[in-house]
């Protein structure tokens, strides 16, 4: 769809790169008075992807919300990506998404046609996921924003949290990194059309198939890799699980073009916030270039699932994943807690 002005130029930042840093969030939420409820399995104190409330022995309600500024100029594609990103939190908990509410802030410069296309993209992606958009809220503001509040359901005995990793687990990631760097380069008009189509397709892809396969195995922990980057989300998983996560840099998938642009300095601001959060609890063994580190800290939009699974099941899970999610890779392993929560295993 052609537009006279670029949608991304109406916003000061893009996609999940707009996310407030994890370290800042924890400080902002300190000492708030809240009710307690034994049925609340996962709350905001867990730094997890969604909250989970146990309804009965068979059913838990899973709720999340996610919205952000445009990361692409096509309004319909923006709607699809934002919806896929929001729905992903339910998949990361091992749940089934069912209901959603629109959240839309329309900038004054936006045409009604753009607004309609953003909503249409969201509705189409929700339909693909089997989700009913049952309402929402729309306002006017300075920056365009779109996303969803999503409700899902799951078995309370099999909810996947980001704090369940165990020593001996193998880590599997289902989408390559580099989205934030590449979309930053795209805003500078340095990216080819073919490459952009590839990363647009990746961002708009649901994590449904990966979740469906994952639930067949004894996965201990899961999170989706979004605004905090692989390093930030891995750090949260390690700290919450009381273990150390080792990321083997030679195994981590990323778009090769992202390395070139990161080396040129085209790194989004969110990557530096992620580094500020995780770097103090990270040890580097061997050689890991600053450029590759930038890719690992790069904020992802609608990124893949990061799973911690027992070593005995890892090869079977990975093989089945690769039938439907070809880019899934083993990226590391989990040990008992060492001095640091994260270890980057580089070249020797």
DSSP string, 224-252: E--TTHHHHHHHHHHHHHTEEEEEEGGG-
Burial of 120 (0-12, 13-18, 19+ CB in 10 A): middle
Question: Crossing angle of helices 112-128/75-92, nearest 10°?
Answer: 30
- Tell me the CB-side half-sphere exposure of residue 117, using CA atoms within 13 A: 17
Q: What tokens appear for 319 in the block?
A: 């093989």
If you count them, how many residues does the chain have? 348
C-alpha triplet 213, 253, 301: angle, nearest 5°: 75
d(CA 71, CA 44): 26
3-state secondary structure of 344: strand
8 Å CB contact between 271 and 297: yes
Contacts of 217 (CB under 8 A, 6+ apart): 309, 313, 316, 317
> What residue has token string 């692989």?
230
Q: Of 13, 16, 235, 243, which is the active-site residue?
A: 16
Q: Which runs of consecutive H residues, i.e. helices, occur in 1-134?
A: 22-28, 75-92, 112-128
HSE of 23, CA atoms in CB hemisphere, 13 A: 14
Cα→Cα distances 141→6, 19, 106, 245, Å: 17, 18, 6, 41
The dihedrals phi and psi of 124, each to the nearest 5 degrees, come to -65, -40
Is position 243 annotated as part of the catalytic site? Answer: no
Determine how β-strand 329-336 pairs with β-strand 169-173: antiparallel
- Residue 104 contacts residue 137 (beta carbons within 8 Å): yes
Q: Which residues are catalytic?
A: 16
């Amino acid at each position: 769809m052609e537009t006279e002005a670029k949608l991304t130029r109406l916003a000061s930042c893009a996609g999940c790169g707009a996310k407030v840093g994890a370290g800042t969030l924890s400080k902002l939420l300190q000492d708030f008075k809240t009710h307690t409820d034994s049925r609340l399995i996962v709350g905001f104190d867990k730094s997890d992807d969604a909250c989970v409330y146990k309804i009965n022995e068979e059913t838990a309600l899973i709720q999340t919300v996610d919205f952000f500024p445009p990361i692409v100029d096509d309004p319909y594609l923006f709607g699809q990506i934002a919806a896929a990103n929001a729905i992903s939190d339910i998949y990361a908990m091992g749940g089934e998404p069912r209901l959603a509410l629109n959240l839309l802030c329309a900038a004054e410069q936006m045409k009604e046609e753009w607004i309609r296309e953003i909503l249409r993209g969201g509705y189409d992606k929700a339909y693909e996921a089997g989700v009913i958009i049952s309402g929402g809220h729309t306002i006017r503001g300075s920056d365009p924003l779109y996303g969803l509040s999503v409700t899902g359901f799951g078995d309370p005995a099999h909810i996947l949290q980001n704090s369940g990793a165990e020593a001996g687990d193998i880590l599997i990631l289902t989408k390559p990194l580099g989205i934030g760097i590449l979309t930053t380069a795209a805003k500078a008009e340095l990216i080819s059309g073919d490459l952009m189509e590839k990363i647009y397709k990746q961002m708009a892809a649901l994590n449904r198939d990966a979740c469906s396969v994952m639930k067949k195995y004894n996965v201990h922990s899961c999170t989706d890799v979004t605004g905090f980057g692989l390093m930030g989300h891995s750090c949260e998983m390690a700290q919450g699980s009381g273990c150390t996560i080792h990321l083997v840099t030679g195994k981590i998938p990323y778009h090769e073009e992202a390395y070139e642009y990161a080396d040129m300095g085209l790194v989004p601001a969110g990557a530096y916030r992620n580094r500020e959060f995780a770097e103090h609890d990270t040890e580097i063994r061997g050689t890991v270039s600053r450029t590759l580190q930038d890719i690992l800290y790069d904020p992802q939009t609608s990124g893949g699932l990061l799973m911690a699974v027992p070593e005995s099941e890892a090869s079977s899970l990975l093989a089945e994943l690769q039938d439907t999610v070809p880019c899934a890779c083993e990226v590391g392993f989990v040990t008992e807690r060492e001095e640091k929560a994260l270890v980057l295993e580089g070249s020797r």
